[in-house]
Amino acid sequence: LTKDTYHTERGDYGQLTSEDIAYFKSILPENGVVQDKTDLEIYNQDWMRKYRGSSELVLKPKTTEQVSQILKYCNEKKLAVVPQGGNTGLVGGSVPVFDEVVISLANMNQIQSFDPVTGILVADAGVILENADNFLREQGFIFPLDLGAKGSCHIGGNVATNAGGLRLLRYGSLHGSVLGLQAVLADGTIYNGLSKLRKDNTGYDLKQLFIGSEGTLGIITAVSILCAPKPLAVNAAFLGLDSFEQVQKTFGRAKGELSEILSAFECMDANSQNIVAKYTDLARPLEGSHPFYVLIETSGSNKDHDDAKLEKFLEGLLEDEVIADGVVAQDETQLKNLWQWRELIPEKLGHGGVYKYDVSIPLADMFKLVDDVQARLEEAGVVGDSEEFPAIASVGYGHIGDGNLHLNVPLRRYDEKVEKLLEPFVYEWVSKVNGSISAEHGLGFAKKNYIQYSKDAGSIELIRDLKKLYDPKAILNPYKYV
């Protein structure tokens, strides 16, 4: 996208001066001020290479006090800022739109404490999710969130987006597992809510405001989170199914029969798997093709018990012809390979660009949306197998166990006609079934004009009121959804 297609004017914010730079250099270590044009590039561009800002300054504080000093200064000078974690966000929320100062949490990357009895981890916001998880695994625990971007995303970014991920159905939302956090408000005030208490009903639960606020209310600098014991036995099955009806039946039975050991239930359509197959040399898990695939994971404490349970469950499904085919991982390598067929989808779909929709809708309607989008694009003659078509296909996959579909339209090239066919069509469709237009990625810049499809006018007004209270000069992540 070019600036013209952003359809946004730069706000009435201050322009950086040499005096500002001198101030930041005086409070930050040498590597905490980035100005080199080449070094700035990765901070200005998002993961999808769809949004690009033109910031000339990235600040990388090491302490909460430094974040506070930076924000206090920026607020006084009305300099706009963008908080940035691992920059893996999928809605253009983590990069500047114009010349906002990027505040990267990358140098705040220390584990502060871990209690092996309670499982409570306290860590800086800039700790990479995979590093936190590796640390916990050595202690016999796991981070209660896992997602494909784990090697880059920060736990602070996860909290700021209220990321859902691959095992939400087992470990719940961050609104439940985050016990406390520390955040710096726009004027530099430090909110010290780094509680380690599981229960605390003393007044409003302020931390919840920051979970999912996408950098618009404050900068999260540390997080306290309840972690789950590392499962002693993990197993995965990859299934082929003939219809989405069968997928739903399988899900119902998985909840009943696998119950306490069920840790993931992901569904992928044929298009998503064909595209992964095209761009990898991994062997496909199943022979032959099916309209739908399901990846089921179990996590428990007794391998024999879990294996027997999974086997009986799968035998029952085969006998009743609910599933057409299936394979169970025989070892850790196979388990990882099966997961690749799910985790690689976002990356492999993005070759020429992609329009992404991340929606919550009633389970039964889920793939009807994918079909309706395909039909709409076909009717307009913009989707197909050859180069002349800008769109490749309408693709559906996602966290079916959580009622969350990822509808992706992978492209050969970005095309305004395709975009106009999709938006607001998809949002209207979702609104009609009382769904959410953003189940887990947030609104960011990409969806800022569409909030009204999921929130009524009164709710939007309350959101704006909070923003005015916490950030009256609107310096935090401007041009985004508030």
Residues that bind ligand 2HG (CB under 6 A): 90, 148, 345-346, 356, 358, 398, 406, 408, 440
Q: How far is the CB of 183 from ligand FAD (least distance, A)?
A: 7
Which of ligand FAD, ligand 2HG, none does 410 bind, CB closer than 5 to 8 A by kind?
none
The residues facing 83 across adjacent strands are 103
Q: How far is the CB of 277 from ligand FAD (least distance, A)?
A: 18
Q: Is 179 in the site for ligand FAD (CB under 6 A)?
A: no
Residues with Cβ within 8 Å of 162's Cβ and at least 6 positions away in sequence, in order, are 173, 174, 175, 211, 212, 440, 442
Angle between helices 244-257 and 303-319 (to 10 degrees): 140
Tokens found for residue 321? 């012809």
Runs of H (alpha helix) within 122-206:
129-138, 155-161, 168-171, 174-177
Q: Is 127 in the site for ligand FAD (CB under 6 A)?
A: no
Q: How far is the CB of 305 from ligand FAD (least distance, A)?
A: 29
Site for ligand FAD in 329-368 (CB under 6 A): 346-347
Residue nearest to ligand FAD (CB): 157
Residues 247 and 267: beta-carbon distance below 8 Å? yes
**Tokens 């739903």 identify what position?**
248
Please give the Cα distance from 11 to 223 (Å, whole number): 32
Q: How many residues bind ligand FAD (CB under 6 A)?
A: 38
Q: Choose between 145 and 328: whose C-beta lies nearer to ligand FAD.
A: 145
Site for ligand FAD in 84-103 (CB under 6 A): 84-90, 93-94
Q: Choose between 65 and 242: whose C-beta lies nearer to ligand FAD.
A: 65
Pairing of strands 233-241, 292-300: antiparallel
Please give the Cα distance from 374 to 24 (Å, whole number): 51
> Segment near ligand FAD (CB under 6 A), from 160-168, 249-257, 282-290, 465-473?
160-168
Q: Is 402 in the site for ligand FAD (CB under 6 A)?
A: no
Q: Given CA atoms 400, 403, 404, 406 in this order, what sign does their dihedral have?
A: positive
Q: Is 160 in the site for ligand FAD (CB under 6 A)?
A: yes
The CA radius of gyration of the chain, in Å to the nearest whole number, is 23
Q: Choose between 167 and 309: whose C-beta lies nearer to ligand FAD.
A: 167
Q: Is 374 in the site for ligand FAD (CB under 6 A)?
A: no
> Which of 331, 336, 354, 206 is closest to 272 using CA atoms?
354
Binding positions for ligand FAD, rule: CB under 6 A: 47, 82-90, 93-94, 105, 125, 147-149, 153-154, 156-158, 160-161, 163-166, 214-215, 219-220, 346-347, 440-441, 444, 477
